[in-house]
Amino acid sequence: MPPVNAIEFFQYPWADSPHHLVWGIRVDGTDLRTLVGEATYPLWRTELAGEFDDDEAELEKETAEQVRVQHDGLGVPEFAHHFRTAGNTVPLLGCPCGIWVCWPLMAEVGITPTTVTWSAFRQPNREEEWGELPMGPYEFPRDAYEAALDAPPVLGEDPLP
């Protein structure tokens, strides 16, 4: 039986338009953007290696920058609704440009009477090169999941530096 994970949804001001809120997510207390960064770091490094053949420091810097800026929260008004629909592949994170379809993190959402599971994490713009990302699956108690969606705290700023 897989471990049960903790889920937190929250909202925070979008950096480019602070009067608009975006949705953020924490899994087991860790921002989902951090978890994605850990999963994609080696993929970015491999992808960028040819551009920096002889400059390890520059490769490291560029890889770290790609990981850092690849996602932001979702600025989707109906965010909570699409997380309650089983069998769908849904965006969990969006692009920092504000157009979530530009660079989304997608996952399959499975729902039972007692659990919600996120699995098959993908970056559709790199699906052929990267395949399924090495993260999850995450399984949440459905009652805690629903409660977190129903009452997300609003933070004063993006919790990631």
- Confidence bin at 1 (pLDDT 50/70/90): low
* Closest residue by Cα to residue 115 from 26, 15, 2, 27: 2
SS3 22: strand
Centre a 10 Å sphere on the Cβ of residue 29 and count the other Cβ atoms it contains: 8
DSSP 40-58: HHHHHHHHHGGGGTT-HHH
State pLDDT tens for residues 141-152.
999 999 999 999
Domain boundaries, the chain: 7-150
List pLDDT tens digits, range 34-79: 999 899 888 888 888 887 777 788 888 877 787 777 788 877 666 6
Decide if 88 contacts 114 (C-beta within 8 A): no
Q: What is the pLDDT of residues 74-123, one digit of tens each?
A: 776 666 666 776 677 888 998 888 777 788 899 999 999 999 999 999 99
What is the structure's pLDDT at 108?
93
